[in-house]
């Protein structure tokens, strides 16, 4: 007697199968990574929901979550699921102090100074800040904290007219704060350069990450309101905790023709 299929099995055979059109781990990772900065730390990921939201197979989603766990973006605990560790989105189209980032990342407003010194301006800094050959600068190095844990390491160089200016009491490594409060400079705009580097051993210890981890390198050349350069600030940020946002514009020339 030929074997027969149950009605439930027949329904399974004829039910439309969802089209998983995004089974690239790379593309799936990028889609999920782009959504992290909008989530509250501790938000739980459900694999089944991600399979539908990302239009990817369960194996692809699982591979992406495992990669994110290795990078510290999420925490995976057996029987408890996957939870977001928390990332911050910082706008790079506006020059703000650390405290003013509160609107965008309320858990990222603490700074701790690790070293300060008045030194003869290195030639590269002197040229960038358009200083005299015998100029001195204040170097401020410090950590930026997220819920008490370091997420960024900064080193800033600020031109001084005399060593006495460096006696201003510092409670933040933020160069904008020093320019405005200690030097009474009206800060204008800045020019930013962003790249990616691997964490050296010293940076890794200070930021609590593994040597060789990917970190974001950001440099700001900060100008006063008249357009004169007043400070060079270089920041190393944990790549698993920070993303940047900006609004960009396309400026079409009068000779542009539609394609």
What ranges in 146-192 are assigned the alpha helix state H? Answer: 175-181
Contact 192, 218 (CB under 8 A): yes
Of 55, 84, 113, the residue at which a domain comes to its end is 84
Assigned domain for 8 exists: no
Residue 220 has pLDDT above 70, yes or no: yes
E strand intervals along 78-203: 81-84, 88-91, 110-120, 136-146, 149-160, 187-198
The mean of the pLDDT values for the chain is 83
pLDDT at 1: 46
Residue 107 has pLDDT above 50, yes or no: no
What is the rounded CA–CA span in Å between residue 21 and residue 55? 6
Q: What pTM was estimated for this model as a whole?
A: 0.76
Assigned domain for 37 exists: yes
Of 54, 84, 114, the residue at which a domain comes to its end is 84
Assigned domain for 2 exists: no
Residue 149 has pLDDT above 70, yes or no: yes
- Mean pLDDT throughout 118-135? 95
Assigned domain for 257 exists: no
Compare 170 and 131 and report the one with higher pLDDT. 131
Q: What's the pLDDT tens digit per position in 20-73?
A: 566 789 999 999 988 887 777 788 999 999 999 999 999 999 999 999 898 888
**What is the span of the domain harbouring residue 122?**
88-245
pLDDT at 102: 56
Compare 172 and 120 and report the one with higher pLDDT. 120
């Amino acid at each position: 007697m030929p074997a027969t299929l149950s009605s439930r099995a027949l329904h399974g055979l004829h039910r439309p199968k969802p089209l998983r059109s995004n089974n690239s781990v790379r593309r799936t990772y990028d889609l999920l990574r782009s959504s992290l900065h909008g989530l509250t730390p501790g938000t739980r990921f459900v694999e089944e929901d991600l399979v539908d939201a990302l239009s990817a197979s369960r194996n692809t989603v699982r591979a992406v979550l495992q990669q994110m766990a290795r990078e510290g973006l999420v925490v995976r605990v057996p029987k408890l699921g996957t939870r977001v560790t928390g990332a911050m989105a910082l706008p790079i189209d506006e020059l703000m102090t650390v405290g003013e980032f509160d609107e965008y990342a309320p858990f990222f407003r603490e700074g701790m100074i690790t070293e300060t010194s008045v030194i003869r301006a290195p030639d590269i800094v002197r040229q960038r800040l358009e200083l005299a050959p015998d100029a001195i600068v204040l170097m401020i190095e410090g950590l930026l904290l997220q819920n008490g844990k370091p997420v960024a390491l900064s080193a800033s160089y600020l031109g001084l007219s005399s060593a006495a200016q460096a006696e201003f009491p510092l409670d933040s490594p933020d160069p904008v704060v020093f320019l405005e409060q200690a030097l009474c400079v009206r800060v204008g705009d800045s020019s930013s350069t962003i790249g990616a580097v691997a964490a050296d051993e010293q940076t890794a210890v200070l930021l609590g990450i593994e040597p060789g981890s990917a970190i974001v390198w950001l440099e700001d050349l900060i100008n006063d309101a008249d357009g004169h350069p007043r400070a060079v600030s270089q920041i190393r940020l944990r790549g698993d905790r920070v993303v940047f946002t900006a609004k960009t514009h396309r400026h079409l020339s009068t000779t542009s023709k539609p394609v």
